[in-house]
Amino acid sequence: MQNRYTEPKLLHGSQEWLEARWRDHNGLSRVAASSAAAVHDEHEYMTAGDLATELLADKAPEPKKINAAMERGNRLEPVLIQWTSDLEEITLKTPDILYCFENGDARMIATLDAISADGMPFEIKTTKKRWDGVLPRQWYWQG
């Protein structure tokens, strides 16, 4: 049985946000979209073992110190959402909810960067690498 639902979005990156992504309302672990690639061993910074260790831990991960990549994304994401909105002539908004999905033993959660009026999700990515026209596998699995 599939179950799709939403939860209030807490402050992005906060301890409360990390806890909501780590366990559902029943205390069961769930995979966040940003770590889904680790399940398939295609995550640049996390192995399947790292993810398992995180999900089986007694407590949620703690907020990480902001690094250059996080800073770049935090600064550019709102600008890129607005630019995309202008270029595509659509209205995009950043949701104030988390999107959750359950299917048997699988539990997932996603924080969407933006969503259009007709429900199309938008994921904003920045990189310091030159774009070669190929979507990185990590980003594929996040989608």
Strands 106-110 and 31-32: parallel
100-109: average pLDDT: 92
Question: In terms of C-beta distances under 8 Å and separation of at least 24 residues, what long-range contacts does 23-26 make, across chains too?
Answer: 23/60, 24/100, 24/102, 24/107, 24/109
- Model confidence band, residue 16 (pLDDT cutoffs 50, 70, 90): very high
Give residue 104's pLDDT.
Answer: 84
The set of residues, in sequence order, having a beta carbon less than 8 Å from that of 46 and lying 6+ positions away, is 35, 37, 38
Burial (Cβ within 10 Å: 0-12, 13-18, ≥19) of residue 110: buried
H/E stretch holding 115 reads strand 114-116
Give residue 105's pLDDT.
Answer: 84
Task: Specify the 3-state DSSP secondary structure of 45.
Answer: coil
Give residue 12's pLDDT.
Answer: 87
